[in-house]
Homo-oligomer: A and B are copies of this chain.
Amino acid sequence: MPEIERNQKTMMIFSSDLDKVMAAFNIAIGALSMGFQVNMFFTFWGINVLKKENMSLKNKSLMEKMFGLMMPKGVTKLKLSQMHMLGMGTWMMKKRMVAKKIALLPELLELSQSMGVKFIACEMTMDMMGIKQEDLIDGCEIAGAAGYLEEAEKSNYNLFI
């Protein structure tokens, strides 16, 4: 039996801060360019990254509606972890990135998907926050801790972001 090549890159995306998520996607795209398989497991606040912008809050319980209203829907709504300043800081930073031709998050997400990143949504988080498969962007797998750890075990690079 040949030994498994443990060279995948796996990131657990726990945060939905704009800056941290951007760092994660830049790492992902770098690693994909070098030919590695990249797995991104979105848990807790990180699940917000995978939400459809037009995710519906119909047919949700009161508490699920509250979670839905209070948390960002998708990559265009994320905020900086610092200097958000009621939106001004986040807006300024994005403006600066455009001026400097630095790719913004929606482009990074699209690019990494076209390069074959594997997005995995955390099952327990979805259950906890009342999020269904149809609330997430296309192409996501769903798994629990065991599924995540299987990918981690095939990886020589594991981050918690």
| A residues at B contact (CB < 8 Å) | 6, 12, 14, 19-20, 22-23, 26-27, 29-31, 33-34, 43-45, 63, 66, 70-71, 81-83, 92-93, 96-97, 100, 102, 124, 127-128, 144-146, 148-149, 152-153, 156-161
Select which of B20, B29, B149, B161 is within 8 A of A30 by beta carbon. B149
Q: Are A70 and B45 in contact (CB under 8 A)?
A: no
- Minimum CB–CB distance for A60 against chain B, Å: 12
- Show 13 residue pairs from A and B whose CB-CB distance is below 8 angstroms, ordered by the A residue: A6-B156, A12-B23, A14-B19, A19-B44, A19-B45, A26-B145, A27-B148, A27-B149, A31-B149, A34-B146, A45-B82, A93-B128, A158-B158
Copies in the complex: 3
CB-nearest residue of chain B to A14: B23
Q: Are A128 and B102 in contact (CB under 8 A)?
A: yes
